[in-house]
């Protein structure tokens, strides 16, 4: 009998939902256990949190890849936090480039295509200057990966703190300038960065339309979205919250994704990851009737 499960990365539903990191209820904190647990929970993707260091070796990566294929769970990778492509320190800059390469190569081994990146801080530079500096320092990394035949899609993330490069227009500028890059749209960060704006159906549609206008329809056909509740202050993001604790309007966000026929991965980053991701997925499934 042929295997009825679909090929990984070709979702039967437009959006796949999954946790950031291994689900809490997995029997062990390994990626393989996380993939199996995701499938048991009815989740279709998982973001591997390599936020301290990329440590996965080829043998483990092969097992992870096989498990993801078997369970039809699409994988992505969150690259290390210790990346700053606007560092004045040549060593830190080189280390940052090395970490991005390592995350992308790990992605190729595991079959994780989307590689989420925090690219850096403004320091004394203007947003436009910073985008330009990041472009210059990321370009050789992209070219190296292309020369290696990498399948990785680097995803600069929309960031939540005002000191961090990564407002939506900056991320879109960089993605438009460097072919092959696509955004990681963190809707909670965008909301926190703008003091609670970007929280209505009309604003979510604006964001999606803006992405499509700058990058083409691919931006919505191949979306990578982070979502959670979030607390913010005058300098933007403070910390993530559950949907129940915060007032992030995930229902209208999902409604906008549905109405723009978005496809891709939705990664839940709330402190109650599984519960909130399952809430999203349930809301989404219901939304196919009415939201």
Which residues of this protein are in contact with Zn ion, per CB under 5 A?
Answer: 157
Least distance between Zn ion and beta carbon 76 (Å): 11
Least distance between Zn ion and beta carbon 14 (Å): 23
Cβ distance to Zn ion smaller for residue 35 or 51: 51
- What is the spatial distance between Cα 263 and Cα 25, in angstroms, rounded to a whole number? 27
Cβ distance to Zn ion smaller for residue 157 or 203: 157
Least distance between Zn ion and beta carbon 157 (Å): 5
For 10, what's the count of Cα atoms within 13 Å in the CB-facing half-sphere? 3
Least distance between Zn ion and beta carbon 115 (Å): 11
Regarding beta strands 229-233 and 223-227, do their DSSP bridges make them parallel or antiparallel, or are they unpaired? Answer: unpaired
Question: Other CB atoms closer than 10 Å to residue 59's CB: what's the count?
Answer: 9
**184 Rama sector, left if φ>0, alpha if ψ -120 to 50, beta otherwise:** beta
- What is the spatial distance between Cα 69 and Cα 89, in angstroms, rounded to a whole number? 41
Cβ distance to Zn ion smaller for residue 67 or 103: 103
Least distance between Zn ion and beta carbon 159 (Å): 8
Cβ distance to Zn ion smaller for residue 67 or 172: 172
Cβ distance to Zn ion smaller for residue 39 or 155: 155
Query: What DSSP element (H or E) covers 202?
Result: helix 201-215
Nearest residue relative to Zn ion (C-beta): 157
Cβ distance to Zn ion smaller for residue 133 or 185: 185
Instruction: Say if residues 99 and 66 touch (Cβ distance below 8 Å).
Output: no
Instruction: Say if residues 155 and 116 touch (Cβ distance below 8 Å).
Output: yes
Residue 53 has what DSSP assignment?
-
Instruction: Say if residues 74 and 68 touch (Cβ distance below 8 Å).
Output: yes
Least distance between Zn ion and beta carbon 51 (Å): 8
Cβ distance to Zn ion smaller for residue 67 or 225: 225
Tokens encoding 49: 């949190």
Least distance between Zn ion and beta carbon 78 (Å): 6
Paired strand residues for 156: 117
Least distance between Zn ion and beta carbon 136 (Å): 22
Instruction: Say if residues 43 and 36 touch (Cβ distance below 8 Å).
Output: no
Cβ distance to Zn ion smaller for residue 157 or 237: 157
Question: Other CB atoms closer than 10 Å to residue 235's CB: what's the count?
Answer: 13
- What is the spatial distance between Cα 194 and Cα 286, in angstroms, rounded to a whole number? 30
Instruction: Give me the phi and psi of 84, to 5 degrees please.
Output: -145, 100
- What is the spatial distance between Cα 189 and Cα 144, in angstroms, rounded to a whole number? 30
């Amino acid at each position: 009998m042929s295997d009825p499960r679909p090929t990984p990365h070709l979702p039967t539903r437009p959006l796949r939902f999954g946790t950031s990191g291994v689900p809490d209820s997995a029997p062990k904190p390994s990626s393989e256990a996380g993939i199996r647990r995701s499938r048991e929970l009815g989740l279709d993707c998982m973001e591997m949190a390599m936020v301290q260091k990329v440590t996965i070796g080829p043998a483990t990566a092969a097992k992870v890849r096989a498990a993801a294929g078997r369970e039809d769970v699409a994988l992505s990778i969150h690259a290390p936090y210790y990346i700053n492509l606007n560092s004045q320190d040549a060593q830190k800059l080189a280390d940052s480039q090395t970490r991005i390469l390592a995350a992308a190569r790990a992605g190729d081994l595991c079959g994780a295509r989307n590689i989420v990146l925090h690219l850096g801080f403004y320091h004394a530079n203007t947003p436009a200057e910073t985008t330009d500096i990041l472009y210059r320092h990321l370009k050789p990394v992209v070219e190296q990966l292309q020369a290696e035949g990498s399948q990785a899609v680097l995803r600069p993330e929309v960031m939540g703190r005002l000191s961090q490069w990564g407002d939506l227009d900056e991320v879109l500028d960089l993605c438009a300038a460097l072919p092959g890059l696509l955004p990681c749209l963190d809707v909670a960060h965008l909301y926190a960065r703008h003091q609670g704006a970007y929280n209505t159906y009309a604003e979510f549609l604006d964001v999606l339309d803006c992405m499509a206008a700058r990058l083409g329809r691919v931006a919505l056909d191949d979306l990578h979205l982070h979502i959670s509740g979030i607390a913010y202050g005058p300098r933007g993001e403070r910390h993530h919250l559950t949907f129940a604790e915060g007032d992030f309007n995930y229902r209208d966000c999902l409604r906008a994704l549905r109405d723009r026929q978005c496809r891709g991965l939705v990664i839940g980053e709330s402190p109650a990851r599984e519960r909130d991701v399952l809430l999203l997925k349930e809301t989404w499934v219901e939304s196919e009737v009415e939201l």
